[in-house]
Amino acid sequence: MLNFKKGDTLTFGKYYQENSAEKKLIKWTVLDSSDDKVLLLSKYVIDAKPYNSSLVNTTWERCSLRTWLNGEFATNAFSLQEKNLIVTTRISTPSFKHPFRVGGGGLTSNPNIVPGGNDVNDKIFLLSFEEVKKYFKQNTELNYVLKAVVPWASDAIINDVAGVYPELKCNPTNFAKSKNVYGSDKEGAWWWFRSPGNTSQMATSTMNGIILYHPGVEVNDTTLGIRPALWVKKEAFYTDDEKREIAEKEALRKRKLEEERKRQQVAKWKNDNLCQYCGNKFKGVFSKKCRVCGIKKDY
């Protein structure tokens, strides 16, 4: 598969799907592609875990879910060869500016800026809210659905409070259901993003394709699902024929580079009145020969 398109389904690694006794291939959806790697998001909610093991102020950098994804999950889901094909990525989680803050008498219009934490280097991560907006389309025509979820929000501010992204709706595996993930096959499962909620004890999530920017979900909630994301080298998905084709093209590219390097080197030697074959000086007055290789000057 030399071409990767957004929405393609790939398999990579193995994890529990039907039960905790047998691992099966993990299905992934392609979100993005660059020259040599693809960004994948698990096609299903594969497990249920808290964002953080305790209800304290936290960020993606410090949360227990990040530790689990890059530790226990990575070890269980991927072979050593597969882990070497996962690209370590610089992960930035922007601070989140919520348009509302809970005040003494209710919601106020004071913006609430919650820190996203320091940048980190991860192999496996969760999507941020910014990445959701980049890779998924909001459907404002479905805003009427939001009124049932946030009935207090006026039509003027509802897009500042929540949004409908139908493509985010995702079913849980039977294994995730056994872990008491919130949701169903009909409604889809709730699952985490790495972005903060309206306090550092909250994190953003989606339910049935709806994202609540305010207030988020308490980080120690154990019923939210997990959809890991990761960048993987494209070579992980090439067939043997494609690998040979790529190797041949790479070998041809290197040969052309070497030929061009040699051409430039010979041109420089000639310009410096040196032997064009080895770059050394000539000897003799009339019949000049190279002092090293003995070849007569022929230019």
- Give 291's strand partners: none
Residue 104 has a pLDDT of 41
What tokens appear for 84 in the block? Answer: 């070497």
Let me know: does 82 contact 12? Beta carbons within 8 Å. Answer: yes
What tokens appear for 114 in the block? Answer: 């919650």
State whether residue 49 is helix, strand or coil.
Answer: coil
What are the φ and ψ backbone dihedral angles of 102, each rounded to 5 degrees? -70, 120
- In 3D, which of 39, 35, 52 has the Cα closest to residue 6? 39
Render pLDDT for 176-213 as a digit per residue (tens, 0 to 9).
999 999 988 888 999 999 999 888 999 999 988 888 77
> Is the pLDDT at 102 greater than 60, yes or no?
no
Let me know: does 63 contact 193? Beta carbons within 8 Å. Answer: no
pLDDT band at 63 (very low <50, low <70, confident <90, very high): very high
Give the predicted TM-score (pTM) of the model: 0.79
The mean pLDDT value for 101-113 works out to: 54
> Is the pLDDT at 1 greater than 60, yes or no?
no
Residue with tokens 């919650």: 114
- In 3D, which of 232, 180, 298, 188 has the Cα closest to residue 41? 232
What tokens appear for 152 in the block? Answer: 């207090």
What tokens appear for 193 in the block? Answer: 């993003």
Q: What is the DSSP letter of 2?
A: -
